[in-house]
Structure 1
């Protein structure tokens, strides 16, 4: 199996525009590419510090010959032109209904069977941690991994937030910024593979994934991570949206879905 001809052609077309732009805006240092599994689909779990993270991660994966597939809000697929592009490159529409979540899981399985990389941000949204360390996670990546057996690849990246800070309204291209990216060994979830998908099991798997991502980020930053992971609920912050320091919930803005709707 593999990506369809039309999907690869569209990825190539988009790359012709995106890669030169990213290379002009960001110097890059990529490490750990040899740890990426080959000949199989994978779930890629990066940290999330700015809205342009998906472009940074997608650029990296595409350059490694891995077609990136993101979870995207179902409403985007009805937008003219954009929806057609998303369908062609097999991005995964996510709906909040049970039936919609099942369809999303089926689409994710198809992408994994095609040796694609499913990118899921285990934090569920941009980190709320004031120092931008990974915060408490959601269970979507763990659930998909335990249901499919696909390898989970932790990935940390740092520097893109200097170009486009979290929830910014404009880019800061001068002086030219630098992004560093580090891939870790696949997270070992083998002891949980046959366990019931209880909350305890999912929490254990999610914490392992985030522990791996946090360790990679600490290496990139040359700093020690906090002993306790930031918990937005405990801090009475909104789970989504720009104004997260206000109490309550807010509607998630359009863009890649990074929660655990699967």
Structure 2
């Protein structure tokens, strides 16, 4: 007779509680839609913690990315919670729904609003929930959709709360919604490749002052891990130098 893991029912109960009725109710129609236009080929899904807090850091090149990332995280038994644009929270009905399922609003400018967002993310971490943070902060400006320079919010959350940071990469979402496009391609059904990596080793940065140089070095480790996963998915080698928008006279936000 196969042995049973006595912890498994408790784990399943915690995961079900994390999703909650409201999350499940709101997710149902979205899941039906996205399943009709895309299918996921997931690699390394076991590396996403089944319970407890984590910071997940995906690459970002399409406005449809959060749907795909959220769907994958949901399928792995965790509730997807993002740092999301604050403007979405001002949309009638949608804003209320986002607050109900504990998404975190982020204003594009201002240190105070950034601090508030990080505080909300810390609250999720302390209650054992995961948070999804795009370390690039916006759609990549890199011409071939490789990850560009990262921002420090993700590593700050991970280091200040002592939680693992999980790199993630995906490829294929651009076939559903190209970068800066507003037109979805519904047919034929697209395959999106997804890879989860081992937690990024940030041990040497824990317990030390989080100076700008420390945060920059830790962030580059995370961006390197994401890029390596994406190289495997694409079967290509990324540029040796990380794309820096300011060096190319590009703004951080809005379409190119």
Q: Secondary structure of 1:69's match? A: coil
Once the 2 structures are TM-superposed, how far is the Cα of residue 97 of structure 1 from its aligned partner?
Answer: 4.3
The structure-2 alpha-carbon separation of the partners of 1:154 and 1:235, relative to structure 1 and needing over 3 Å to count, comes to: same
Once the 2 structures are TM-superposed, how far is the Cα of residue 175 of structure 1 from its aligned partner?
Answer: 2.4
TM-score, normalised by the number of residues in structure 2: 0.89
Once the 2 structures are TM-superposed, how far is the Cα of residue 35 of structure 1 from its aligned partner?
Answer: 1.0
User: Equivalences for 1:76-91 in 2 at 5 Å?
Assistant: 76-91=88-103
Q: Does 2:57 match 1:42? A: no
Once the 2 structures are TM-superposed, how far is the Cα of residue 57 of structure 1 from its aligned partner?
Answer: 0.5
Is the Cα–Cα contact under 8 Å of residues 7 and 90 in structure 1 kept in the other structure? no
Q: Does 2:84 match 1:51? A: no
- Map of 2:218 onto structure 1: 205
How many residue pairs match? The answer is: 243
Q: Secondary structure of 1:44's match? A: strand
Q: Secondary structure of 2:220's match? A: helix
Is the Cα–Cα contact under 8 Å of residues 45 and 120 in structure 1 kept in the other structure? yes
Distance 2:254 2:115 in 1: 25
User: Equivalences for 1:183-194 in 2 at 5 Å?
Assistant: 183-194=196-207
TM-score, normalised by the number of residues in structure 1: 0.87
Is the Cα–Cα contact under 8 Å of residues 39 and 189 in structure 2 kept in the other structure? yes
Is the Cα–Cα contact under 8 Å of residues 45 and 122 in structure 1 kept in the other structure? yes
Once the 2 structures are TM-superposed, how far is the Cα of residue 210 of structure 1 from its aligned partner?
Answer: 0.3
Distance 1:230 1:74 in 2: 26
Further displaced range: 5-14 or 193-202: 5-14
Further displaced range: 88-97 or 18-27: 88-97
User: Equivalences for 1:221-240 in 2 at 5 Å?
Assistant: 221-240=234-253
Is the Cα–Cα contact under 8 Å of residues 42 and 151 in structure 1 kept in the other structure? yes
- Map of 2:8 onto structure 1: none
Is the Cα–Cα contact under 8 Å of residues 15 and 51 in structure 2 kept in the other structure? no
Once the 2 structures are TM-superposed, how far is the Cα of residue 7 of structure 1 from its aligned partner?
Answer: 6.4
Q: Secondary structure of 2:81's match? A: strand
Further displaced range: 64-73 or 124-133: 64-73
- Map of 2:165 onto structure 1: 152
Q: Does 2:165 match 1:165? A: no
Runs (5+) with no aligned partner, structure 2: 1-13
Is the Cα–Cα contact under 8 Å of residues 121 and 131 in structure 2 kept in the other structure? yes
- Let me know the Cα RMSD of the aligned residues: 2.0
Q: Secondary structure of 2:82's match? A: strand
Is the Cα–Cα contact under 8 Å of residues 50 and 78 in structure 2 kept in the other structure? no
Distance 1:156 1:46 in 2: 5
- Map of 2:7 onto structure 1: none
Which digits, 9 at most, give the CA deviation of each residue in 1:198-225, with x for residues without a partner? 1110110100000000000000011111
Once the 2 structures are TM-superposed, how far is the Cα of residue 62 of structure 1 from its aligned partner?
Answer: 1.0
Is the Cα–Cα contact under 8 Å of residues 40 and 113 in structure 1 kept in the other structure? no
Q: Secondary structure of 1:43's match? A: strand
The structure-2 alpha-carbon separation of the partners of 1:105 and 1:4, relative to structure 1 and needing over 3 Å to count, comes to: farther
Further displaced range: 182-191 or 76-85: 76-85
Is the Cα–Cα contact under 8 Å of residues 68 and 116 in structure 1 kept in the other structure? no
- Map of 2:22 onto structure 1: 10
Q: Does 2:65 match 1:66? A: no
